[in-house]
Amino acid sequence: MDNLKISLLKEEDLDDHSGFSFIKKFGISAFATNLAIVTGAHFSRYTKKSSYWTKTACKSGKVRVIGSDGNNKTLNPYSWSGTIRPVLSHISLFNELIKKRHRICDGLYSVEFGEYPQEAADKILKEELEKHYQNNELEETGRIYTLYKRKNLIIDTYFSPKAHKEYIYNGRKFIRVKVSLYKKDELVTIKYVDYKDGDYIWLEVTPVEWFIDEQSRKLISLKGLLSGVPFNSYKKYNGDFKDTEMYEFLYKYMLPELLSNTSVFGLSIGIPNNASNNLSEEVIKDFERITDKLSPEDREAYINALKELKESLGTKPKKRR
């Protein structure tokens, strides 16, 4: 049986002759979840829509994105400001989910499937959650959601995955996230609460809503779910999507975590063997050079990331001095 696949849209998927042209009825641009905003999305403060990644390459080595206004734009592959708007495909899964679809408008249907942190708790609930968290009174569910953490503001293009525990409170599930805004010196207002870079926000884990396309038999998320993940930190994008950090993130983290509390009707999920980033020795040398210039705390984080990189390449890390 084929594995469930996760990917991104291509630029051509959104033209008038593609299977996904139905999205134009709702609008090509996509709203950003609160999670996407607080993980660094470049978004419109007026519409709350953000630029989202496609998997289409430009000749310059940049990546094509769909802007908050619905127009085609480009981003450097090492940028972390694009949002992830995933696409799921699996024939058997589609046949099950189409039975659960509901109508948005004429010819446009959606379905809920999987769970992900999306919208923020309101001010009162946020204060309750933080109080219980500080008193170590919140129950953990045992599930996690992985976001990317920027290593150091000196160099914004170095990242590492960071697991965030899921907690349950009054029957609802939440994660606690450190705010990392696109513009560090600005505030963002969410649910009548002002957040600045470095604050903590509580985000509720809720079902994800997907457009359901009968022609292509695929699911496309209504919203941009997450930002802060570089498309490819270490080299230009040549169109080989399987050789990118984004591909690795989708399969290694996003897909399993989307489905961690969801029935998949006995389907095989499976992580492709090639879902790992081919990092170069040049990157390792760069990491080693950088660690000498950081604070002890950041240096420790970099050394751990360096160890992971070397292990992924099959090389033995040097002993720490």
Residue range(s) defining the domain that contains residue 57? 5-125+147-159+208-278
Select from 180, 182, 179 the least CA-distant residue to 45: 182
Strand intervals (E) in 94-214: 102-105, 108-120, 139-152, 155-169, 172-178, 188-190, 193-195, 200-213
Identify the burial level of 86 via C-beta atoms within 10 angstroms of its C-beta, where 0-12 means exposed, 13-18 middle and 19 or more buried.
buried
Same domain, yes or no: 15 and 61: yes
pLDDT in tens, 144-174: 999 987 654 444 445 578 899 999 999 999 9
Cα-Cα-Cα-Cα torsion 128, 259, 150, 175, nearest 10 degrees, comes to 0
Note the pLDDT of residue 80. 86
Identify the burial level of 205 via C-beta atoms within 10 angstroms of its C-beta, where 0-12 means exposed, 13-18 middle and 19 or more buried.
buried
Q: What residues form DSSP beta bridges with 29?
A: none
Same domain, yes or no: 111 and 219: yes
Cα angle: 151, vertex 80, 304; to 5 degrees: 25
In a 3-state reduction of DSSP, which class is residue 70? coil
Same domain, yes or no: 120 and 255: yes
Same domain, yes or no: 229 and 249: yes
Same domain, yes or no: 240 and 307: no
User: Does residue 164 lie in a domain region?
Assistant: no
pLDDT in tens, 195-249: 999 999 999 999 999 998 887 888 999 999 999 999 988 788 999 999 999 999 9
Note the pLDDT of residue 276. 45
Same domain, yes or no: 316 and 274: no
User: Does residue 198 lie in a domain region?
Assistant: no
Same domain, yes or no: 241 and 310: no
Number of domains in the chain: 2
User: Does residue 130 lie in a domain region?
Assistant: no
Select from 209, 238, 260, 259 the least CA-distant residue to 5: 259
pTM over 0.85: no
